[in-house]
Structure 1
């Protein structure tokens, strides 16, 4: 009696006309898919084993199966086609990189170079652009004839200029220029002084024998301020008069306030 074991097939009765034939019996082929490969077929001539890549259908996936094999979609022969701002084809000899220019300055690129950012849509963005703005206001006001105060530094009026930082990101550097012009009437042996804030800018007197009308001189000051990002500054111009003597009076005060705003 002949019994077939694993992998062996026995046929025939063992007679001259029906001899026993022992042959190898192929074991069944067990296949299993992976997350990246799908297998099909039984491994026979009639049903050969076939492996196919499984491509993730998620949006943005660039991997594709072409006639020559796997490649990055949009590429040729497995390489990447680049456009504006990029160079290289993704191969070892020509990796994809940014197309940059040589740093033309003597200062350090590491210390002084600006940065590039990626926005919410995936677009590259530079640092905020520089801004410059200008605002001014002029007032020419007449008054009833008024005695110049005898005490120094007497505040007679405050005028203001509203200055806004147009940049929502960065502090503004502001250069402010102010002008003050006061018309005095000076009888003989009289005098009067004017001030911008705490700074005395003019003292005028009359040592003659007749009255001098509309005596004036324009005084200018320049100073700086800073304004936080998106903020507003209300800059005061405190007009002060004093040292009035001999019946000195004033009847007109003209001012200009100008602001140059820079965000760099």
Structure 2
């Protein structure tokens, strides 16, 4: 008695007319589908193993199986529709591109042109625009007749102006302009003057025989400051008295502070 094992087939009666035939019988190949690949067949001559891509049936899917492998069809006719800000249809003769204006400035685009950025919402943004701000304050302060200091650069009034950079991105350049006018009463043979900070601006002398009252001259001074992005500067203005002699007094100080803020 002959019994075939796994994968072996036995046939025949074992005589000359019907001999015993032992045949190897292939075991069917068990296959499973991997991600995006479909397998078929049993790996035999009559049922060979085949594999093909598993394509999403969504109509918007542009991936297809071509004669030489997977291809992107590119939609109808291999083109795409464009809206504001884009040109072209994605074809070879009309590539997709950003719609831009022609550079007409005399300087070089590569070194002087601005930039375009993509924000967190996926929208295009340009460089921050220029900004300007203006701050001002002024006063007319009167005093009882007060002796003009005999020294130099002695503070008599110190107003200030708060200046804020309106830009959260870039530093601001500030032009601070100050106007000062001090009224003096000058007895005979007296003198006195005023200044802004360390600068002596005016000096008046009375060489006559009677008192001169409300003697004054308006002066101005301008300087530059830089404020960091989003910062605030409190700019002091030191108004001084100087070279007082002969009983000279001051009775009024008029001042104005103007700040011109540029962010470019």
Q: Which runs of 4+ in 1 moved over 4 A?
A: 28-42, 49-53, 69-72
Deviations 1:130-167 (A, max 9, x none): 11010000011111110101111111221100000011
Q: Structure 1 residue 40: deviation in Å?
A: 8.1
Superposition pairs for residues 164-175 of structure 1, below 5 Å?
164-175=164-175
Aligned to 2:185: 185
Q: Contact 1:55–1:64 at 8 Å: present in 2 too? A: no
Aligned partner of 1:6 in structure 2 is: none
Q: In the alignment, what sits opposite 2:240? A: 240
Equivalent-residue separation in structure 2 for 1:242 and 1:140 (angstroms): 20
Q: Which residue of 2 aligns with 1:229?
A: 229
**In 2, Cα distance between equivalents of 1:62 and 1:192:** 89
CA contact (8 A) 2:36 2:55 kept: yes
How many equivalent pairs are there? Answer: 224
Distance 2:54 2:93 in 1: 27
For 1:206, the equivalent position in structure 2 comes to 206
**Does the C-alpha gap of structure 1 residues 253 and 52 become closer, same or farther in structure 2, counting only changes over 3 Å?**
same
Asked if 1:152 is matched to 2:135, the reply is no
Instruction: Report the Cα distance in structure 1 between the residues aligned to 2:210 and 2:190, rounded to whole angstroms.
Output: 11
Asked if 2 retains the 8 angstrom alpha-carbon contact of 1:195 and 1:240, the reply is: yes
> Could you tell me the TM-score, scaled by structure 2's length?
0.76
1:137 corresponds to 2:137? yes
In the TM superposition, residue 227 of structure 1 has moved relative to its aligned partner by 0.3
> 1:76: Cα distance to partner?
3.8
Deviations for 1:187-208, whole angstroms, at most 9, x for unmatched residues? 1111111010001111111122
Match of 1:54 in 2: 55
The residue that corresponds to 1:259 in the other structure is 259
Q: Provide closer, same or farther for how the CA distance between residues 77 and 194 of structure 1 changes in structure 2, counting only shifts above 3 A.
A: same
Bigger CA drift: 115-124 or 103-112?
A: 103-112
Residue by residue, what CA displacement relative to the aligned partner does 1:161-185 show, whole Å, maximum 9, x if unpaired? 0000011110001111001110100
Give deviations 1:203-253, integer Å, cap 9, x for gaps. 111122221111101000111111000111111100110101111000111
Decide whether the 8 Å contact of 1:71 with 1:79 is kept in 2: no
8 Å Cα contact 1:38/1:54 also seen in 2: no
Residue 41 of structure 1 deviates from its aligned partner by 10
Whole-angstrom distance in 2 between the partners of 1:141 and 1:30: 102
Query: Structure 1 residues 176-185 or 201-210, which shifts more?
Result: 201-210
Alignment deviations for residues 48-84 of structure 1 (CA, whole Å, 9 cap, x no partner): x997752398xxx963579xx9655xx5433111111
Corresponding position of 1:162? 162
Task: Give the Cα separation in 1 of the matches to 2:262 and 2:214.
Answer: 38
Structure 2: segments with no counterpart, 5+ residues = 1-27, 43-49, 65-70
